[in-house]
Amino acid sequence: MKNWWKEFLAFQRLVTPLIMPVVFWVGVAIAVIMGIITLVDGARISSARLIVLGIITLFFGPVFVRILCELVLTFFRKE
């Protein structure tokens, strides 16, 4: 534990690669939930536009979250 803390304070160990999987899965969950909500609302009020938007959000939301997470990781790469 002491060694980890020393590496952390000396910036030898980065925190971002450790928390990005959590951020990714939370983002995917939010994208899927928002897609389902949009889809259900579109079906409830008979709006084809909302139904299509919900389907697009369900499929492309997680991909967009993945791209954003990879972009953040490239900013914090240590090489």
| Local confidence band at 53 (pLDDT 50, 70, 90 cut-offs) | very high
Confidence (pLDDT) at 3: 77
Higher per-residue pLDDT: 33 or 20: 33
What is the number of domains present in the chain?
1
Please indicate, yes or no, if residue 31 is contained in any of the structural domains. yes
Within a domain: 8: no
> Which string of DSSP letters, residue by residue, matches 18-64?
HHHHHHHHHHHHHHHHHHHHHHHHHHHTT-HHHHHHHHHHHHHHHHH
Query: Residue 67 falls within a domain, yes or no?
Result: yes
Spatial distance between the Cα atoms of 2 and 18, rounded to a whole number of angstroms: 18
Q: Residue 65's domain spans which residues?
A: 14-75
Q: How confident is the model at residue 22 (pLDDT cuts 50, 70, 90)?
A: very high
In a domain, 28, yes or no: yes
Of 6 and 38, more confident: 38
Q: Which residues are CB-neighbours of 26 under 8 A, at least 6 positions away?
A: none
pLDDT at 11 over 90: no
In whole angstroms, what is the distance from residue 47 CA to residue 41 CA?
8
